[in-house]
Amino acid sequence: MREKRVKLRLLAALTIAIVGGTAVAQNINAAGATFPNPIYNRWFTEYAKAHPSVHINYQPIGSGGGIRQVSDGTVDFGASDGPMTDEQLSQAKVKVIHIPTVLGAVVPVYNIPNLNRDLNFSGDVIADIYIGKIQKWNDPRIAKDNPGVNLPDHQILPVYRSDGSGTTYIFTDYLSKVSPEWQSKVGRNTSVKWPGPGVGQKGNEGVAGMVRQAPYSFGYVELIYALQNKMSYGAVKNATGKFLKATPDGVTAAAAAAAKNMPADYRVSITNAGGDSSYPISSFTWLLIPRQFSDPAKGRAVKDFLTWMLDKGESEAAGMGYAPLPAQVQTMVRKTITTIK
Amino acid sequence: MSSPIISVAQTPRQTDPSGASQGSPVQQDVGPEAPKSAVRQFLMSRSSGKAADTTFLAIMLMCALSIFAIVIFILFILIARSKLSISQFGFKFFTRSAWDPVSGDFGAFAFIYGTLATSLLALLMAVPLALGVAVFLTELCPQKLRAPISFLTELLAAIPSVVYGLWAVFVLVPLMRDQLGPLLQKYLGWTQLFNGYNFGVGLLTASIILAIMILPIISSIARDIMLAVPISQREGVLALGATRWEMIRMGVLRNARIGIVGAIILGLGRALGETMAVTMVIGNHPEIPNSLFSPGYTLASVIANEFTEATGDVYLSALIEIGLALFLVTIVVNAIARALVWAVTRGAPARAH
């Protein structure tokens, strides 16, 4: 009997603690892109440790979902791997601004048995592999980029992402820039109508798994995925004609090259950027922050988080395989943050 | 003759009306002054049963009607949300094969084709196998083996589909690409069904994994139905000099056929809606496949793949209309299956020969 009462009291105390705790804390809901989810999660956890009163709850539901939810005002802020279109911006109930956070890159992966060196790819070659114009590994155009490599006379099996994803957006954005035929036939989007033969697989892990298993296949995955899983990947020819293997530094270089004519709303594509050391298939990923928060306390909390992200968060990016923002862009973002109300 | 409880239940207001039980020892207790039994007190304490019966009927009716309400609600939402796509593409949405999110051109035919093709192929493989399992378990199996086989079939039914998908990716796909595929091409290539390059993923692989997934459902329901066939039927057929196979065919399968078709329809339902495992091995390429090795796409897979990242109103609306198409396909296929059952059993009672 007595024990029971003690238990009840404990329970009551616990309930009060929980309810009281949440009442004081500022809960911020966010949703969007899956690609930056690992680093966002880390940032939000570390920020919560330093600021126990703010709790940011991020749901990686996809860029499309992030754009929809922040536009309708069902979350406090969103996140996306592709910038919102002019149409989306004008239709949104909540007016938002884009804040770039980190950069990612997409790398070509392939499986050729008994090949022990990295291959080089030009953008138009990659496009024509997916269009179906280049069907064999020993095609003269692949051979031209890889002098001295003994390429097999075997059909290429192109693999692509079947699920809508920011990775596909960046990849097709690049192909649209380097291949006029791709631009007119396919275009850029989170998912596209793949023109040639090939199979779709779900997620980076699906594409990587397929490429690893199926001999003579060709696919594309996020740089961070390839790094974490120690996959070998190919080099891509950049705008100055150099073949580069993706590294976080090369990605930041691409962003720095593009920073000179960065528009004020940050909606910029940095694929195929100029500069010797720029890796061509790179992109920003953005947070979508409302211009004006209905709850000023929330607005202050989000602004404080963004400042913390630039001060502390950016330095952690490279360690996790993301490329940090170049210094010029960080300075610009700092200014932009002050305009949020 | 009548026990006290029955007489109480029949005439709440005491005494046995018939003279039949006059003089029986029981009657003495039922006199007007006698203390009332517990059952009787309970019955008398209640008001008329009419209100209770009506309420009960109403509640049960509501449960039944909720099924209608749910179906209509789903249909309503699907249509309301896909309005944009319906008004843009009209009925052609279901008969056109196009899926281009960039230019906003959508049609569902390739997906409908993929869904029907994989499901029917899966049935083709699973039904004979499942019926074999069920017949063996009910008619031929030694007692010792029966429990473990039944247990394992039911265990198969409980495995989550993503596990099947993973197994397919790591075991079935390489097997298909390196061993099974080349064999099929060599010996059955003349059928023209196995043309083209064999990636390991594709229509056939998806159908095989679906067949494995619906096998336990069909076989365990078919088994239960065959068990329900009276033993006397079997004995009757055997007594007329039938062999074991004739007994199973005439005594068991014929009697159980409606139930077996029901089991097959349930399996088909799962095959039509299966998403995860199929998405992992079908190849997700929205074209009408010209060979069993070609990659295809199903209605459920395209929703699972593209819904989260769909931007643009028409795109989203088209994806919801894909959901509507899946709903309609399921209804139509079920209706056809039911019509088939009706055609087979029309006029003839289930047990006729």
Percentage of chain B lying above the pLDDT 70 cut: 87
Chain A residues with CB inside 8 Å of B98's CB? 193
Burial of A214 (0-12, 13-18, 19+ CB in 10 A): buried
- Is the alpha carbon torsion for B295, B274, A68, A287 positive or negative? negative
Could you tell me which residues come within 8 angstroms of residue B51 by beta carbon, excluding any fewer than 6 positions away? none
Quote the minimal CA–CA distance from A52 to chain B in Å. Answer: 31
- Using DSSP's 3-state secondary structure scheme, residue B275 falls into coil
Interface contact flag, A164 B306, Cβ < 8 Å: yes
Mean residue pLDDT across chain B: 84
**3 state DSSP class of A120:** strand
The average pLDDT across B62-68 equals 95
pLDDT of residue B312: 77
User: What pLDDT does residue B10 have?
Assistant: 45
Query: Tokens 């309503």 sit at which residue?
Result: B76
Establish if B174 touches chain A: CB-CB under 8 angstroms.
Answer: yes
- Closest CA–CA distance from residue B283 to any residue of chain A (Å): 5
State the pLDDT at residue A73: 87
Assigned token pair, B17: 């009306």
pTM attached to this predicted model = 0.80
Helices within B189-275 (DSSP H only):
203-227, 231-239, 244-246, 254-273
For residue range A56-91, list pLDDT tens digits in order.
899 888 888 888 889 888 899 999 888 888 888 888
Of A64, A65, A193, the CB nearest to B99: A193
Q: Using the predicted structure, report yes or no on whether residue A146 has a pLDDT greater than 50.
A: yes
B200 touches chain A (CB under 8 A): yes
Mutate to test the interface with B, among A199, A205, A288 (most CBs of B within 10 A): A199
Q: Strand A26-32 vs strand A54-59: parallel, antiparallel, or unpaired?
A: parallel
CA distance B107 to A107: 32
Residues 6+ apart with CB under 8 A from A7: none
Distance, in Å, from the CA atom of B46 to the CA atom of B54, rounded to the nearest integer, reads: 15
Count of other CB atoms within 10 angstroms of residue B179: 10
DSSP annotation string for B281-341: HS----S--SSTTS----HHHHHHHHTTT--SHHHHHHHHHHHHHHHHHHHHHHHHHHHHH
* Cα distances (angstroms) measured from residue B96 to each of A304, B90, B102, B112, B141: 52, 11, 17, 10, 50
Phi, psi torsion values for B266, nearest 5 degrees:
-60, -45
Least CB-CB distance to A190: which of B99, B197, B311? B311
**d(CA A229, nearest CA chain B) in Å:** 17
ipTM summary value: 0.76
Separation of alpha carbons A226 and A169, rounded Å: 18
pLDDT tens-digit readout, B279-297: 999 989 888 888 888 899 9
Query: Is the Cβ pair A194, B285 closer than 8 Å?
Result: yes
Lowest mean pLDDT: which of A137-141, A233-237, B72-76, B341-345? Answer: B341-345
* Residues making up chain B, counted from first to last: 353
State how far the Cα of B269 lies from the Cα of B115, in Å rounded to an integer.
Answer: 11
Report chain A residues whose CB lies below 8 A from the CB of B301.
162
Above pLDDT 90, what percent of chain B? Answer: 39
- Is it the case that residue A2 has pLDDT exceeding 60? no
What does the buried/exposed string (b/e) look like for A252-276 if buried means 16 or more CB atoms within 10 Å of the residue's CB? bbbbbbbbeebeeebbbbbbbbebe
**B197/A214 CB distance under 8 A:** no
- B180-239 residue pLDDT tens: 888 888 888 787 778 777 888 889 999 999 999 999 999 999 999 999 999 998 999 999
Please say whether the beta carbons of A289 and A96 come within 8 A.
yes
Residue of A nearest to B99 (CA): A193
Each residue of B334-344: pLDDT tens digit? 888 888 878 77
- H/E stretch holding A220 reads strand A217-222
CA distance linking residue A171 with residue A150, whole number of Å:
27
With residue A56 as reference, give the H or E element that holds it.
Answer: strand A54-59
Q: How far apart are CA A229 and CA A103, in angstroms?
A: 19
Q: In the predicted model, is pLDDT for residue B20 greater than 70?
A: no
Residue A199 forms contact with B (CB below 8 Å): yes
A to B CB pairs, distance under 8 Å: 98
Say whether residue A66 is in contact with chain B using an 8 A CB cutoff: no
DSSP A341: -
Closest chain B residue to A216, measured at CA: B199
Q: Does residue A219 have a pLDDT over 50?
A: yes
pLDDT score for A173:
92
